[in-house]
Amino acid sequence: MTYAKKEAFEDHLQQLADFTKALSHPARMAILEYLAKQSQCISGDITGEIPLSRSTVSQHLQELKSAGLIKGTVSGTRVYYCIDTENVKKLKSEMHDFMERIAAKTGSCKVTEVK
């Protein structure tokens, strides 16, 4: 029986997929790098550093926030963003463990290339 829904998979795989999906765009990686250098900043600060429109940066921030990699705090008319350190550490650990499990079970590839 095949499953099309991600809910059919283990929770840790769903979480890892959500994290890595959020990292799958270079703009989001750049936003995370920028936020890592700051204690917090507003989206306008990020727009000044990344060659994208304010609305596009806002969409990328929402993706990162939805994945739990950043936090946003509203203060008046501004939203201040920062790295969610706990979840970034969780991502690092889970990705490391995932890759270690794969590498430990991977033998030499015996498939020959078909021409």
pLDDT of 63-97, one tens digit each?
999 999 999 988 888 889 999 999 999 999 999 99
The structure's pTM equals 0.80
Q: How many CB atoms lie within 10 A of CB 57?
A: 23
Q: Of the CATH numbers 3.40.640.10, 1.10.10.10, 3.50.40.10, 3.30.930.10, which one belongs to the domain with range 8-97?
A: 1.10.10.10
Asked whether residue 115 carries a pLDDT value surpassing 60, the answer given is: yes
Higher pLDDT, 28 or 78: 28
Q: What is the pLDDT of residue 41?
A: 84
